[in-house]
Amino acid sequence: MTNHKGVLAWIDEITKLCEPNNVKWLDGSEKENQDLLEMMVKNGTAILLNQEKRPGCYLFRSDPSDVARVENRTFIASNKKSDAGPNNNWIDPLELKKTMNSLYQGSMRGRTMYVIPFSMGPIGSKLSKIGINVTDSPYVAVNMRIMTRIGQKVLDALGDNGEFVPCLHSVGYPLEKGQIDPTWPCAPIEQKYISHFPDERLIWSYGSGYGGNALLGKKCFALRIASAMARDEGWLAEHMLILKITNPEGKVKYMTGAFPSACGKTNLAMLTPTIPGWKVETVGDDIAWMKFGKDGRLYAINPEAGFFGVAPGTSYQTNYNAMKAIEYNTIFTNVALTDDGDVWWEGIGYDAPNHLIDWQGKDWYKGVSMTPAAHPNARFTVRADQCPVIASDWEAENGVPISAILIGGRRPTTVPLIHESFSWPHGIFMGSIMGSEITAATISDNIGKVRRDSFAMLPFIGYHVGDYLKHWLDIESMTKPEKLPKIYYVNWFRKDEFNHFLWPGYGENSRILKWIFERCDNQVHGVKTPIGYIPDPSDLDLSNLNISETAIKELLNVDKAEWMKECASIEAYYERFEDKLPKAIKDEFDSLMNRLKA
């Protein structure tokens, strides 16, 4: 337990407010975890999968109303509305607390309240932060054990007066005596609140039991609250993968990468290179915290301890290492169940059997059923150290030194395969304009337009996006320019006139990583264009790759007319920033326009 007066007082306050039947402090032990899982199997919340095929694996099915992050019910309750910015839903913190306090009153009646001390990052590291998560969901408890480091060791590291982020979660379904509990309790959509109080470093979540709405260490702490901490303390909390790349001579570099959803972030983090002698290993697949080391370089940690990955589309062909990781000790949510107790989802790499139980617990028949067997946002939760290519230093106490930052999105035209920024401010400008073209897969009237997502952070910044970009720019003044990572914009998704991808992607992306690696050491030439430096084709390792010179030329083409249209779209996007667009970003935009007109 703990003698931390602040923690004990807060737990006492929440216990009186939420009125649980029991309070249980989690120690993180294997026995405790098994007891929780067996309890959920017994009450029908969890399904134990075939232990010969999936040892230690369980399946959960959520309520159909509770299947994803609910952005329209996610709030930033900063003291001033202007601090929240155009991408956040703002509510006055006093008003929001009044509303939520009334919801929390008695919300855990009939339930056990779990107290989960957790560390984002290696326990005891100066780069890590500690939270205390209170929840009435045993599903959240077993997932938090995978996604973070939990238990008594965290309380020991916190000591008697350490700083912590209070994280309160309730499914919002109190039980009266004799009332039958649903297998997935949650509140109606209009009562769901995922609320952040950045000025107080406080997270309150009510009504949802799913994913980032309920696993409060993930987007809520590691990005929305941590981004505000990072601004105030001079570091970066980013929606980025971290990979380790080793060349044939044994030289190592580390890179981070920011990509919007559906752009292959996890695939890149777990990439299997196709070029001989090169090796890629995983440090993190989703979030990077970067802080300055004594040498003036940015060092990154993965604040998470697990992967909360999208199952549909994941296969041995698209991501072999993720599939190997989830062969055992994995929690699956909203995937389909086979008759022999295994899991299946669309894009798993082999045909569905004739019969399945779908993610809603209903019979599903191949060629007959018209709905997906697995929910498109079905997930797996697995410990990072089960990944076959996890880097040996993925939990390095002082983090790993970052040489390059990658950004990108799905762009079938305009944006080349790879280009490098001219400078740090130019790189921040590039990060501010990144995004993906809206496709028919998205229910939207804007098909063909670009949805811009600055550094893939628009849903996750805990304050104004303009101030966020200013913070990125301010990083330059905190060290010597040569110590900063180089910034690269990649686009694996460029297409030809027949709508075919020009670049093969997946493991072949290692060829681009190699060029970046060599550029960081000034071993290869960069060809200057109006938008940045692109490779000379002769410097790209295209050995044993079946790709035409025409395709390479198109992949690296920078069309000035297309980029002038791009600039009009960028200018429209920047109007959202109102008076908070940093002058340095506006200057970079003007410089790009001048280069295009030259």
User: pLDDT tens digits, residue range 423-478?
Assistant: 999 999 999 999 998 754 444 456 568 999 999 999 999 999 999 999 999 999 99
Please say whether the dihedral angle defined by the alpha carbons of residues 215, 218, 220 and 225, taken in this order, is positive or negative.
Answer: positive
- Residues classed as catalytic: 263
Given this model, what pLDDT does residue 261 score? 81
Residue by residue, what is the 3-state secondary structure of 501-553?
A: ECCCCHHHHHHHHHHHHHHHCCCCCEEEECCEEEECHHHCCCCCCCCCHHHHH
What residue ranges define each of the domains in the chain, with the CATH number in brackets?
A: 5-43+70-234 (3.40.449.10), 238-305+392-597 (3.90.228.20), 307-386 (2.170.8.10)
- Tracing tokens 């941590």 back to the chain, one arrives at 226
Q: Which of 335, 341, 388, 354 is nearest to 53 (CA)?
A: 341
Please return the burial class of 163, using the count of CB atoms within 10 Å of its CB with bins 0-12, 13-18 and 19+: exposed
Q: How far is CA 431 from CA 220, 262, 314, 453, 540, in A?
A: 22, 17, 27, 9, 24
Closest by CA position to 376, among listed 393, 353, 359, 395: 359
Report the pLDDT averaged over residues 217-232. 98
Which residues, including other chains, have CB under 8 Å from residue 145's CB and lie 6 or more apart?
26, 28, 33
Taking Cα atoms as reference points, which of 456, 463, 466, 406 lies closest to residue 436? 456
Give tens-digit pLDDT for 470-491: 999 999 999 999 999 999 999 9
For 283-342, what is each residue's pLDDT tens digit? 999 999 999 999 999 999 999 999 999 999 999 999 999 999 999 999 999 999 999 999
The pTM is what?
0.97
CA–CA separation, 106 vs 170, rounded Å?
Answer: 10
Contact 389, 321 (CB under 8 A): yes
Q: Per residue in 33-55, pLDDT tens?
A: 999 999 999 999 999 999 999 99
Q: What is the pLDDT of residue 339?
A: 98
pLDDT bracket for residue 497 (50, 70, 90): very high
Under 8 Å between Cβ of 309 and 380: yes
pLDDT in tens, 241-278: 999 999 999 999 999 999 998 788 999 999 999 999 99
| 478: nearest Cα among 233, 311, 265 | 233
DSSP-assigned letter for residue 368 = T
Pairing of strands 331-333, 400-408: unpaired
